């Protein structure tokens, strides 16, 4: 169960998100504007915040910047504004995801689940033979030598490790690692798996291909 802060000046949106979040077992607190959200975040600890952009008193972006001064809480922005610069600005100030309205509550909760999974394993340190994976430090070493990978390789590796021993389809990898708004296909996953295996060198075989399905990692 996670503690979720839902911030939106539209009551209907808060109600719908609350219903879906509570159905999945989460605890929900509501805020009606950015100012209210900042005050609640100062006084309480939340696992994730769903933050609207356009609100009275204090807009969502300003609220996020204020909250990030004292709390490192994952944030998903909710906005009717679809301009690219709005999304880029959100990511620049530390937003984890950006969902445009109208949205599917199921999709929002899927994105919440993906972010919570990453946070749950933050700081995880894995040692398997000569392969060492430090998620907190974002470091990977092979036989004592640091390996430099692309950001997506790190993300893909960490995702596989967080789900070690579990068969994961290519479609799920695309959804959870690349995101719902990524327009790619299975070849994108296969290409990055190939790159990741090359980075792991002698431990490449820890990533196992499941013919007709996807991949899993054995650590």
pLDDT tens digits, one per residue of 104-130: 999 899 888 877 866 555 557 888 899
Domains of the chain, earliest start first = 3-120 (3.40.50.2300), 125-217 (1.10.10.10)
At residue 114, the 3 state secondary structure works out as helix
Half-sphere exposure of 77 (CA within 13 A, CB side): 28
pLDDT tens digits, one per residue of 31-46: 999 999 999 999 999 9
- 95: pLDDT strictly greater than 80: yes
pLDDT tens digits, one per residue of 45-66: 999 999 999 998 899 999 999 9
Q: What is the pTM of this model?
A: 0.59
Give the separation between CA 201 and CA 121, rounded to whole angstroms. 24
- pLDDT, residue 209, reads 95
**Higher-confidence residue: 215 or 87?**
215
């Amino acid at each position: 169960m996670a503690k979720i802060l839902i911030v939106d000046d539209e009551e209907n949106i808060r109600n719908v998100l609350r219903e879906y979040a509570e159905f999945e077992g989460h605890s929900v607190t509501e805020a009606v504007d950015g100012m209210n959200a900042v005050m609640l975040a100062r006084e309480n600890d939340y696992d994730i915040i769903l933050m609207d952009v356009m609100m009275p008193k204090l807009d969502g972006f300003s609220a996020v910047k204020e909250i990030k001064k004292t709390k490192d809480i994952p944030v998903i922005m909710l906005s009717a504004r679809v301009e690219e610069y709005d999304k880029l600005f959100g990511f620049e100030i530390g937003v984890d995801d950006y969902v445009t309205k109208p949205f599917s509550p199921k999709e929002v909760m899927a994105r919440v689940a993906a972010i919570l999974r990453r946070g749950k394993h933050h700081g995880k340190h894995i040692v398997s033979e000569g392969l060492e994976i430090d998620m907190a430090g974002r470091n990977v070493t092979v036989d004592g030598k640091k390996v430099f990978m692309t950001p997506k390789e790190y993300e893909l590796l960490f995702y596989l490790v967080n789900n070690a021993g579990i068969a994961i389809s290519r479609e799920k990898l695309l959804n959870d690692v690349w995101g719902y708004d990524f327009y790619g296909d299975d070849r994108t996953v296969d290409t990055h798996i190939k790159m990741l295996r090359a980075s792991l060198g002698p431990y490449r075989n820890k990533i196992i291909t499941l013919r007709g399905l996807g991949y899993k990692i054995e650590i």
